[in-house]
Each structure stands twice: as C-alpha cells, then as structure tokens.
Amino acid sequence: MLEAISFGDAGWGDEMLMGAFWTVAVSISSILLGLVIGIIFAGFKLSSIRVLNLIAEFYTTIIRGVPELLVIYLLFFGGGSAVMYVAKIFGYFGYIELQPFVIGTLAVGAISGAYSTEVIRGAVNAIPRSQFETGSALGLKGFRLYQKIIFPQVARLALPGIGNVWQITLKDTALISVTGLVEIMRQSRIASGSTHEPFIFYTIAIILYLIITRVSNVAFDKAEIRYSRGFVKRKIS
Amino acid sequence: MRFELMYESFFKILKGVPLTLEVVFISTLLGFGLAIIVALMRISDNKLYSVPAYSFIYLIRGTPLLLQLYFVYYGISQFSFVRESFLWPILREPFWCGIITLTISTGAYSAEIIRGGIQSVSQGYIESGKALGLGRVSLFFRIVMPITIRQALPAYGNELILMVKASSLISIVTLMEITGIARTIISKTYAPVEIFLVAGSIYLFINFIITRLVKYAENRLSIPST
C-alpha cells in the first residue's frame, strides 16, 4: 500500500503532486479570466446603457442557473469549432485543436466570471457617491478617477467575496477532469484504476484539496488585513 | 442552428426531468434533517458535539462534490467487508450513491445556513418562551424553528438551486437525468450549442419555478407590515 503512494517510477506520489499542481494552475488562470470578465460585466451592469445591462443580466442568469457540467460540455464539444469559426473570419482555414488546459480555463473562467461580476458590482455599489464626487472635485476624470479612488476601495470591499469565488472556482476545476486534463481528480482516477486502490487515492485527493483550501484561506485572510489597513474591523459581540 | 434537432432533443431530454427532480427531492429532504442535527451540534457548547460537526462541514465544503461522489461510489465499495455487508444492495446502486453524496453535501451547506438562522433568534424570544413555561423541545419547535426558517429561507432557496445544479453530476455515474441525456445527444449529433440551449432552458425553468415557490413561502412567512 505504501508502495502505491511512494515517489518515483513505482508509486503515484509524484503524479498526484503533479495533479495538484495542475489543479492550482488551472484554478489560478480561471479566476484571473473570471476577474477580467467580472470587471467588464460589472461595468455593463452598472452602466446606464440598457443593452449592456441586458447582456450582463443574460450572462449571469444563464451561468448561475445552469449546471457547471453543462457549461463544460458546451465548451469541450463546441469550443474548438467556435475558435475555428472565428479564425476563418480572419482568413485562417487550418484545423485548431484546443488544449484541455485552455478549454478548462475558458469553461471554469466563464463560470467564475459570473460570480465575480456580482461580487464586483456589489463592491462598487457599496462605495459612497461622495467618493466619486470628491474625485471629480479634485479634477480626476474617467479612468484616472477609477484607478486612483475607486479601484483601491473596490479591492478591499470585494476581497471577501472574491475569496468565496476562489473556493467555488477551485472546486469547479474537478469537473474539467471529464475533458482530459490530468489534475487531482483525473490523476486519482487513473491511479486507482491501475492499482485497484480507489479508497487510498480518493482519500489523498481529499487531503490535497483540503490543503489547497487551507493555504488559500490563510492567504486571503492576510490579503484582507493588508487591504483593510486604516480601517477598524467592526467587532460583533 | 438546427431547430429540428432542438425540437426532437427537447422531448428526449424532458424524459430526464423526473429523475433529476426525484434525486433533488429525496436528498434535499434527507439533507434538511441532517442539516438541523449538524447545526445543533455545531452551536453546542459541548466540544464533543461541536468539533465533529465543524470538521464535517469543513471537510464537505472544502472538497469538490465530484470527489465525494467518487469516494462513495468507488472508494468505499473497494473493501470486501462492505461488499458483504447489508449495505451493499444500496452502495452498489449509482442512484443511492448519488442520493447519499447529495444528502451529505446539502447537509453540510444547509447546516451553516440554519446555524446562522438559529443564532439570529434574539435572546428576548427565548426568554419569553421560558417565561411562558415552555420546555426545551417545545421552545425549539414553537419559537426557535419558525423564526429560523423565516430568517434562513432566502439563503436556503439558493441552496435548492445549487442542488438542482449539483444533481447533474450523477450523470457521471451513468444515471440518465437531464445532463446525462444531453451529453449522449451531444456526442451523437455533435451539436453542443443547440443541446446546451435546450437542456439549459429546462434547468433555468426548473430553477425559475423554485425561485417563485421560495418567494411565495417568504411572503407567507413574513410579518405583515402595518
């Protein structure tokens, strides 16, 4: 039994760690994509242009009301042809096959983006109007106003919510094992299939996920403290 | 867009709706019972109760549902003593493994929702109940629980929608509910967008109905403003 989880050629220890690496890698690239989507669509939701409101509302409603697995199937089976369709417009007619990592990032990023949209929108809404007014009184306009006054405060207010989105994103990456990316889930399936020890490998997978969760919780707590400098934490007694 | 295909597959996918609803219904019902027990253990002053409850919630919320499903379906059945036990007729069925996993999962998530609800019941209500001579059990069922349900209902409505979405995972252990049928059609026809739209609309419709029902219940339970 110990041989099965040892490192090197005989055991699966190093492979499982590699799986953990890919889980973290795809989670990070997904949440980054999700944050970019979130900033854009939060802007859409807050804008006074009706069409943009509708587009953003449509996107978040669909993603939050439809199973993640279905979104992943959509991109797994349809992502390649969608990219080829776009490539054709630009005059490229070759065959494009997307890497599982790219499909995974697109799918989980799209899901993560819907949750980030709501978090960022809530954070921007929580900033008092006077902050915008003070900014413009100081002569800041448009992007500069957001860069200097609004974004630093949005970061502080959105951080706890983004921490939750990170947990969701991390767990959603388990679903992209169905597309063939060898992350923790897929690796433990392969290992338990080959050794007939599913109990051990799924237990290791549970431990790996719990370690990643724990470490990221600590990191988010640190970041929250850093971004809340100058703010007294309200104590609830 | 292949509209004819969408029309045909709509009726095929519709056949998966009863299974989705059945799984969601059974595991939500069992999970609610589990959640109340876990929530009460979690807020207990006795560490013998609160530590196991806390660990259970941490374990379930920190790991992906798919992993929990694989653990129940493949991991536990590895041992011959399980296969020889009276539990085997249940654990070898993908249906019951799905129910067990979803029950445990919603039990942990709902426990946190219910805990929040219970802790929001103000001390004054409990003291009034005691002053009226209510015992521990009737105090819980007549005072604490009704207020908890009113407080927790909006968050619990979200949990119900998450359960409908989570039930799609049982298609991975061969059960042919909405997502399972949709996946089969996609791999046969290679029309991911069309099938996604059909299956997605069915899910959105189910979730829309749930949202309305929860909203209705919220209105019924809310204190009428004078």
- pLDDT, tens digit, 9 for 90 and up, residues A50-63: 999 999 999 999 99
CB contact under 8 Å between A177 and B66, yes or no, is yes
Whether A178 and B172 have beta carbons less than 8 Å apart is answered as yes
Answer whether B204 touches A (CB < 8 Å). Answer: yes
Are the C-beta atoms of residues B56 and B110 closer than 8 Å to each other?
A: no
CATH number at residue A141: 1.10.3720.10
Q: Which member of A62, A196, A206 has the closest CB to residue B71?
A: A206
Tally of domains in chain A: 1
Structure tokens of A125? 């809404």
Q: pTM here?
A: 0.90
Long-range contacts (CB closer than 8 Å, 24 or more residues apart) made by A151-154? A153/A123, A153/A127, A154/A120, A154/A123, A154/A124, A154/A127
- What is the rounded distance in angstroms from the CA atom of residue A186 to the CA atom of residue B7? 35
Least confident of A42-56, A106-120, A147-161, A199-213: A147-161
Residues B42-75 have pLDDT tens digits of 999 999 999 999 999 999 999 999 999 999 999 9
Range(s) of the domain holding residue A79: 24-182
d(CA B220, CA B214): 10
Round to whole Å and give the CA distance between B17 and A73. 19
Which residue, B1, B4, B14, B9, is CA-closest to B186?
Answer: B9
Q: Do A213 and B62 touch (CB under 8 A)?
A: yes
Residue A212 included in any domain: no
Interface touch B182/A70, C-beta < 8 Å? yes
> Which position has the higher pLDDT, A86 or B111?
B111
Question: What's the burial of A84, exposed, middle or buried (CB within 10 Å: 0-12/13-18/19+)?
Answer: middle
Residue type, B38: V
Q: Is any Cβ of chain A less than 8 angstroms from the Cβ of B207?
A: yes
Residues from A in contact with B at Cβ < 8 Å:
61-62, 64-71, 73-74, 76-78, 167, 171-175, 177-178, 184-185, 188-189, 192, 196-199, 202-203, 205-206, 209-210, 213-214
- Looking at the domain assignment, is residue A11 inside a domain? no
Q: Could you tell me if residue A195 is inside a domain?
A: no
Give all domains of chain B, ordered by start, each with its CATH number.
3-221 (1.10.3720.10)
- Is residue A145 within 8 Å of residue A135, measured between CB atoms? yes
Nearest residue to A184 (alpha-carbon basis) of A211, A218, A163, A164: A211
Whether A73 sits inside 8 A of B182 (CB atoms) is yes
Write down the ipTM of this complex.
0.89
**B111: closest CA among B36, B33, B27?**
B36
Give domain status of residue A208, yes or no. Answer: no
B40-50 residue pLDDT tens: 999 999 999 99
DSSP A47: S
Residue B202 CB neighbours (<10 A): 19
Indicate the residue of A70, A177, A198 with minimum beta-carbon distance to B200.
A70
Q: Which residues of B touch A172 (CB under 8 A)?
A: 64
